[in-house]
């Protein structure tokens, strides 16, 4: 085993918890939930296999039936879903790791086939995204969403509050508010989707309001030390961009810092594609502005993770897709061992194949 002068594999404090190391399993949609969007029993084994991560952030889980945007994704709004997740949290805790649930409302990235009663998806404004949506019948073009009335926003905030209560009842150690990758909260943040003229649109003070309302409601339930948030300032995922993201996200992070969250989870660049940041936006400013832990995400390799700790550009490093096909990723990173590539045909939907059957290293 190579000698490493790094604290990447050393314990670190996150809120009230001592994590075994600074490696995070990022949220990974796998579309394997059962009837009623309940996590299936195999999910407990899947997460337990990967519990050498200091922190696991669960796959995104819809806070309500309206929040769903992909076939076979789990929810966190019913008693059955809470019971299903309890098997997962018990399995992860038995392996000595910590797990947060990612709270999800997809907004316009949905389809009537996935909505209660075949309704239109909701969004800040009626702007159709140029994407396809994964339904049980296959990929279908997204539709023009229905713009939310201002009077509906408290209902969605309450859905986040209730989902947080449910997550804690399911045994999660905390929650992550998903405000990235083109979903509802980021739709409010970015002017590519937010054309509102009321108190939640236009000026950046208005566009950060709804995400901050959600975070405040979640913190009131869980306590800010058990709440994180994920953002993707320069991402164009799900056909969502902003004309000038730096002031928007600088203001947002300043306000989040004042709320004393456990962590800020940042997608650096474009998810799964590039770490390059167009324009003059210095993402390092977000790191410097936030006094909680900073989780860096997107296309990290072992070398980049080690470098991030050497120069202290991140407190923890999140790995996504490598965790799918390397359940023992932490040990592989520690040894500098080769990584198993994922089977792209089994990423979404299906059974144990491509989910529970990836190999691990022989003991050292």
Residues annotated as catalytic (active site), given as ranges: 183
Task: Give yes or no for a contact between 227 and 173, defined as CB atoms under 8 angstroms apart.
Answer: no
What distance in Å separates the CA atoms of residue 199 and residue 245, rounded to the nearest whole number? 19
3-state helix vs strand vs coil in the chain, percent to 5: 35, 15, 50
Q: Could you please report the per-residue DSSP string of 179-201? A: E-TTSHHHHHHSTTT----STTS
Contact 189, 212 (CB under 8 A): no
What distance in Å separates the CA atoms of residue 227 and residue 218, rounded to the nearest whole number?
Answer: 7
Which helix or strand (DSSP H or E) is residue 79 part of? helix 79-94
**In degrees rounded to 5, what are phi and psi of residue 31?**
50, 55
Cα angle 93, 99, 100 (rounded to 5 degrees) comes to 150
Burial of 171 (C-beta count, 10 Å sphere; 0-12/13-18/19+): middle
* Bridge partners, 56 (sequence order): 25, 99
Residue 318 and residue 260: Cα distance in Å, rounded?
Answer: 21
- Phi and psi for 45 in degrees, rounded to 5? -70, -40
């Amino acid at each position: 085993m190579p000698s490493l002068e790094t604290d990447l594999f050393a314990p670190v404090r996150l809120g009230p918890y001592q994590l075994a190391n600074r490696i995070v399993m990022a949220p990974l949609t796998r579309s394997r939930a059962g009837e009623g969007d309940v996590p299936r029993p195999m999910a407990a084994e899947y997460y337990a296999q990967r519990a050498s991560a200091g922190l696991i952030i669960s796959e995104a889980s819809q806070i309500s039936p309206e929040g769903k945007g992909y076939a076979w994704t789990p929810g966190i709004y019913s008693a059955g879903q809470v019971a299903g997740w309890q098997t997962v949290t018990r399995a992860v805790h038995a392996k000595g790791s910590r797990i947060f649930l990612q709270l999800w409302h997809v907004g316009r990235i949905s389809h009537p086939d996935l909505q209660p009663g075949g309704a239109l998806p909701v969004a800040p404004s009626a702007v159709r995204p140029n994407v396809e949506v994964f339904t049980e019948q296959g990929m279908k073009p997204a539709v023009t969403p229905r713009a939310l009335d201002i009077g509906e926003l408290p209902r969605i905030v309450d859905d986040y509050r209730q989902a947080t209560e449910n997550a804690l009842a399911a045994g999660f150690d905390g929650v992550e508010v998903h405000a990235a990758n083109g979903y509802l909260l980021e739709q409010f943040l970015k002017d590519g989707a937010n054309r509102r003229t009321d108190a939640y649109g236009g000026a950046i003070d208005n566009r950060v309001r709804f995400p901050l309302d959600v975070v405040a409601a979640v913190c009131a339930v869980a306590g800010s030390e058990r709440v994180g948030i994920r953002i993707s300032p320069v991402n164009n995922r799900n056909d969502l961009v902003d004309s000038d993201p730096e002031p928007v996200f600088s203001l947002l992070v300043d306000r989040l810092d004042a709320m004393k969250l456990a962590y800020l989870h940042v997608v650096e660049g474009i998810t799964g594609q590039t770490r390059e940041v167009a324009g003059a936006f210095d993402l390092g400013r977000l790191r410097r502005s936030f006094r909680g832990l900073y989780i860096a995400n997107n296309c990290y390799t072992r070398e980049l993770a080690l470098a991030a700790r050497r120069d202290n550009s991140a407190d923890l490093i999140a790995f996504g897709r490598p965790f799918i096909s390397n359940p023992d990723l932490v040990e592989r990173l520690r040894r500098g061992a080769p990584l198993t590539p994922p089977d792209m045909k089994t990423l979404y939907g299906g059974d144990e194949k491509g989910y529970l059957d990836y190999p691990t290293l022989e003991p050292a």
